[in-house]
């Protein structure tokens, strides 16, 4: 029985990570054809940094993701605190409304935002792309922070005020440290979703501003540049390292709390 459980889990992880492993292996292949090994080389990693189109797309992708995740995390955290402090009836209504953008198909959200920008006569480009990413990231941040607010002792803030702390000081020193794991989770989730998005970006960007998903989609018609394999490998390793660092910090904080 134990063997079957391990085998089942192994099959799941195989289907999840086998495509990524194959992509990483062929990022070192000297052949331009997908699925054909042409010998080991670092050629595509060198050409990656020489390709202006890919580098420009990477620049906009990272810049949009960083700005959108930071702004969405700030707005989402404040919104989560406000929703948490509402009455039960109003809180349930707002939570259900917050679910809608997450359940709504991306194509509907993308077209809706495009029509809004056209109606407001806002020229599509970097600014509209940033606004779109902030918009669809906010609900994910809210639902990442809400569980931590529910777990927190609701009297901590009142106790800090009774001891002479100002509201802003009590928020920074009492509330924020308690909900910080949820804030960090929301930030990482927003950053990942922003990098991954294609549909909403496609409808809300303009000429001269393209992220990686749009560039890769345009390449698919003529054949994807093998340098994309190298870029995907570097991005996967970077995300993996960030995840390990976050988990390490979380485990260290848990040990400190248990020691106290």
**Partners of 40 in beta bridges:** 29
Helix (H, G, I), strand (E, B) or coil at 29: strand
Identify which of 105, 104, 61 has the alpha carbon closest to the alpha carbon of residue 205. 61
Q: Does residue 119 register a pLDDT over 60?
A: yes
Q: Which two tokens stand for residue 86?
A: 């509402």
pLDDT for 158-167, tens place per residue?
Answer: 788 878 888 8
pLDDT for 78-97, tens place per residue?
Answer: 999 999 888 888 888 888 88
Helix (H, G, I), strand (E, B) or coil at 40: strand
Identify which of 75, 218, 77 has the alpha carbon closest to the alpha carbon of residue 147. 77
Homologous superfamily assigned to 52-214: MetI-like (1.10.3720.10)
Q: Does residue 22 register a pLDDT over 60?
A: yes
Could you state, in order of their start, the residue ranges of all structural domains in the chain? 52-214
Identify which of 54, 33, 56, 60 has the alpha carbon closest to the alpha carbon of residue 231. 54
């Amino acid at each position: 029985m134990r063997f079957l459980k391990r085998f089942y889990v192994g099959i799941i992880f195989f289907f999840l990570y086998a495509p990524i492993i194959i992509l990483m292996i062929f990022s070192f292949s000297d052949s331009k054809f997908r699925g054909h090994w042409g010998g080991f080389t670092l050629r595509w990693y060198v050409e990656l940094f020489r390709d202006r189109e890919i580098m420009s797309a990477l620049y906009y992708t990272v810049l949009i993701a960083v700005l959108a995740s930071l702004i969405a995390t700030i707005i989402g955290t404040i919104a989560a605190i406000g929703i948490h402090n509402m009455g039960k009836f109003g809180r349930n209504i707002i939570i259900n409304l917050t679910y809608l953008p997450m359940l709504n198909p991306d194509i509907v959200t993308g077209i809706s935002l495009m029509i809004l920008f056209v109606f407001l006569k806002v020229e599509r480009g970097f600014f509209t792309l940033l606004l779109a990413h902030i918009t669809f990231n906010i609900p994910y941040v809210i639902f990442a922070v809400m569980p931590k607010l529910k777990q927190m002792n609701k009297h901590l803030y009142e106790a800090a005020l009774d001891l002479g702390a100002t509201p802003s000081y009590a928020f920074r020193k009492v509330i924020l440290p308690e909900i910080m794991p949820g804030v960090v989770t929301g930030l990482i989730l927003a950053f990942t979703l922003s990098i991954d998005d294609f549909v909403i970006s496609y409808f809300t960007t303009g000429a001269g501003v393209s992220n990686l998903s749009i560039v890769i989609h345009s390449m698919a018609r003529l054949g994807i540049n093998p340098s994309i394999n190298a870029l995907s490998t570097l991005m996967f390793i970077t995300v993996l390292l960030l995840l390990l660092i976050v988990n390490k910090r979380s485990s260290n904080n848990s040990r400190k709390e248990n020691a106290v």
